[in-house]
Structure 1
Amino acid sequence: MTARGLTTASRTVKGTSAAARLVGIDAARGLALLAMMATHVLATFEPDPQLTPTWIGLAFSGRASALFAVLAGVGLARSTGKQQPLDGPELWAARRGIALRALVIGAVGLSLGGLEVNIAIILVHYALLFLCVLPFVGLGVKRLLMLAGAWILAAPVLAFLLRPWLLSADPPLRLGHNPGWEDLATPARLLGDLFLTGFYPVLQWIAYLLVGLAIGRMALSKAAVPFLLLAAGTVVAATSKWLGIVTMEDWGGRRALEARIGDPAYPLESLLQVNLAGVDQSGSAWWLATSSPHSGTTLDLLHTSGVAAAVIGVCLLLGRLGTWLELDLLLPLRGIGALTLSLYTAHLCIMAALHDQPLAPGWTVDGVYWAQGAGMLLIGGAFAALAWRGPLEWVTHAANQVGSYQSGRVRQPARFR
């Protein structure tokens, strides 16, 4: 074999090895989807007056959806140059592809918004997040980390100041439901809800994609990086959660907020542990001192971003272990992760069909979850083994191809991750 042939073969082997080690990214996405489904299907509070949190609420609420968003940023970084961001015409082509892909995801989300389902659907917010980070996809890891840090500090304060103004409008700029096609008729209300008053406020959630972009710009195939993500993520997550507990319990934050709410129907101690999305977080600066899930505060963003980084680190290490053992340990999970849009949509349709309907004899709510999870593992594993794309993934990939097309160039856009 010639020297050139040896070099080419060496690069091929290295590329295959690196790709094998990065199956952990798809596996982390699959884990995020299963955890999000758990919060949709299973109880996050016990049915008692104190709303005692369940282990599902304590473990997954706020963290699963944040992991999903951080991984969106990782995928964008991996498809726009990895450690070396694209620039010039290639960067603009990639941005067009991302924008067109976001429009497809947004259209799916608006279509699902009409379902009768007691689930906060993330897809329209997800699509808007893709569009909002387009200016930043050409940045390197250092600038992204600095920008993410500044965003995590500033965005919650800005949201705290703007949210009362939006809610005092007539009518308030809040939908109170999943966005659907009919909401395009009131664009100001729709955008106000998506950015600030809705289930997943985009203004704060941009931080997750910035963190994900920074992680995706790292040399993820190197041995030290997964350990760094695990260690740094764990420290950030633990420290921010501890600070939130100190401010609420030791410094009197919870007592001050309880006095302000004055409603026994809202046992704040339990809500602070699981979900603040349904609570009006205005009128007191103590709301900014919590680390509660779905509070959108600095401590919440830090905690959930840290958890996401640690989970990504663990999944990358498991992928590396599978490569070393020559076993695809993560096949079912990474299969789900490569089909998240199709499987998430199927999950929502199933839950809509079951909404307000009695379960079949012998079925329980737990059984509904585990049946869906098992089905997804089987389908995901089969699609991964056959290297097939899901139906909606095929559409988003085609949209990306069309948007990123450059006349006169042969370009192979990265697979949607």
Structure 2
Amino acid sequence: MTSSRQARSTGKTGKPTGRPATGRLYGIDAARGLALLGMMATHLLATFEQNANLTPTWIGLAFSGRAAALFAVLAGVGLALSTGKHQPLAGSPLWAARRGVALRALVIAAVGLTLGGLEVNLAIILVHYALLFLCVLPFMGLGLRPLCAWAAGWLLVSPVLAYLLRPWLLAGTPPLKLGHNPSWEDLGTPARLLADLFFTGYYPVFQWLSYLLVGLVIGRLALSKAQVPVLLLVGGTVTAVLAKTLGVTAMENWGGRAALEDLLNAPGYPLKSVLQVNLTGIPQEGSWWWLASAAPHSGTTLDLLHTSAVAAAVIGACLLLGRLAEWVDLDLLLPFRGAGAMTLTLYTLHVWVVSALYLKPLPAGWTEEGMYFAQAGAAVAVGVLFALLKWRGPLELLGHAANRAGRGSQAG
């Protein structure tokens, strides 16, 4: 929901040379657009087959956990690009940038709390997303090396601390867990709200801060250099495969799943399928084996590492496509970057539409697939139109205004 810049450099003839100069990095917006479409897919399309084994669908296997993580990693990338790129801001410009980010986060939180009052069977990410912006403020002035150390440490330690704290938070009366999307009413129970946002809810901010730290690391790289996108694509792919392989091996070959099935004591429960698609809703307590899985939405080190690496690979691929588009002088990324430049508006509209259809039969002749392609197509079309007209989305305008107000005299 933040944007970045890239332009094509030209030679003496004025023709593109294929070398990126200072300008909009369209690959970042394109990756954000892909994240939006992926999240919409998990919202509208089945992630499990409706059978006794809850057989995962290809949508669940491909997008569950990864689309939302890509969204969060890109938030960190956007923050890095808006605060000095590979040379982080310092002094008064840094503090001005922090104020701007904080005010933009409040706008996002207000939108999220408003959407939280809707009747809808979706886990809305916006309040968590806004809180992540606030939590990452102390790290925005760090250079590449300390950011790498913080990101690695958070990936390793935060899942363990969350595992230790969650049972204590859930043991309260009532448990410190909302069980629904955060809304304005929940501000009246701040302890419960914060516990849910940080530890017990769908997108635990405490572990998810790892994604923004990884995004800051990526954004502090010299993304305009040709080898960096290749490094992201290759390194991200290899790391993602290794993390997922280790998690599956721990569950299937080293006895992890058998131990967890004994712990759950639920004969016939398709834990194998759940570990492949979404571990949300299962209490991860009573066995350290929970921390050995790489299951989507488990918040373990292997899950965070796998999804972060997938995000890095997608960002690298999109940046490479952006460079290819420059060489052929054809805007190959327009369908995705247009939507990616106004994700707050499009995501909000998507939630409103889904809520309008909640618990209602689909219109005659419509299927879940049809609804998805209609909404995805509309998001792409609106994004392309706004990109061609060089307009910001309505909510992006509001966030931009808040950012400029926070930066004050430092606004560029």
Distance 1:292 1:171, change over 3 A: same
**2-structure distance, mates of 1:362, 1:166:** 46
Q: CA deviation at 1:146?
A: 1.1
Counterpart residue number, 1:25: 28
Counterpart residue number, 2:139: 136
> Which digits, 9 at most, give the CA deviation of each residue in 1:265-313, with x for residues without a partner?
6310000000001110001000000000000000000000000000000
Counterpart residue number, 1:334: 337
Q: CA deviation at 1:263?
A: 1.7
Q: Compare 139-148 and 185-194 and name the one that shifted more.
A: 139-148
> Which digits, 9 at most, give the CA deviation of each residue in 1:200-259, with x for residues without a partner?
000000000000001001100110000000111011100000100110011000000001
1:236 is the counterpart of 2:239:
yes
Q: CA deviation at 1:374?
A: 0.7
Given the alignment, which residue of 254, 263, 266 partners 2:266?
263
**2-structure distance, mates of 1:182, 1:21:** 39
Counterpart residue number, 2:167: 164
Once the two structures are superposed, the pairs formed by residues 103-252 of structure 1 within 5 Å of their partners are 103-252=106-255
- Asked whether the 8 Å contact 1:20–1:319 carries over to 2, the reply is no
Counterpart residue number, 1:254: 257
Distance 1:114 1:223, change over 3 A: same
Structure 2: any 5+ residue segments left out of the alignment?
Answer: 1-10
Letter in 1 for 2:373: W
Counterpart residue number, 1:85: 88
Counterpart residue number, 2:58: 55
How many residue pairs are counted as aligned between the two chains?
Answer: 402
Counterpart residue number, 2:396: 393
Letter in 2 for 1:50: N
- Asked whether the 8 Å contact 1:109–1:124 carries over to 2, the reply is yes
SS of structure 2 residue aligned to 1:404: helix
**1-structure distance, mates of 2:266, 2:104:** 44
> Which digits, 9 at most, give the CA deviation of each residue in 1:74-132, with x for residues without a partner?
00000101011000000000000000000000000000001111000000000000000
Counterpart residue number, 1:5: none
Displaced runs of 4 or more, over 2 A: 12-21
> Which digits, 9 at most, give the CA deviation of each residue in 1:342-384, with x for residues without a partner?
0000000000001011111111111000000111111111111
SS of structure 1 residue aligned to 2:21: helix
- Asked whether the 8 Å contact 2:42–2:59 carries over to 1, the reply is yes
Letter in 2 for 1:363: W
Q: CA deviation at 1:17?
A: 3.4
Given the alignment, which residue of 31, 36, 39 partners 1:36?
39
Counterpart residue number, 1:3: none
- Asked whether the 8 Å contact 1:44–1:57 carries over to 2, the reply is yes
- Asked whether the 8 Å contact 2:109–2:127 carries over to 1, the reply is yes
**1-structure distance, mates of 2:134, 2:298:** 23
Given the alignment, which residue of 44, 49, 54 partners 1:46?
49
SS of structure 1 residue aligned to 2:335: helix
Structure 1: any 5+ residue segments left out of the alignment?
Answer: 1-8, 413-417
Tell me how large the CA RMSD over aligned residues is. 1.8
- Asked whether the 8 Å contact 1:21–1:323 carries over to 2, the reply is no
- Asked whether the 8 Å contact 2:29–2:336 carries over to 1, the reply is yes
Counterpart residue number, 2:5: none
**2-structure distance, mates of 1:157, 1:404:** 37
**2-structure distance, mates of 1:311, 1:208:** 14
- Asked whether the 8 Å contact 2:248–2:294 carries over to 1, the reply is yes
Q: CA deviation at 1:141?
A: 1.3
Q: CA deviation at 1:19?
A: 5.2
Counterpart residue number, 1:4: none
Letter in 1 for 2:383: G
**2-structure distance, mates of 1:17, 1:96:** 30
Distance 1:142 1:257, change over 3 A: same
Once the two structures are superposed, the pairs formed by residues 326-405 of structure 1 within 5 Å of their partners are 326-405=329-408
Q: CA deviation at 1:64?
A: 0.3
**1-structure distance, mates of 2:68, 2:131:** 15
> Which digits, 9 at most, give the CA deviation of each residue in 1:301-329, with x for residues without a partner?
00000000000000000000000000000
TM-score normalised by the chain length of structure 2: 0.95
TM-score normalised by the chain length of structure 1: 0.94
SS of structure 1 residue aligned to 2:80: helix
Distance 1:377 1:178, change over 3 A: same
- Asked whether the 8 Å contact 1:332–1:384 carries over to 2, the reply is no
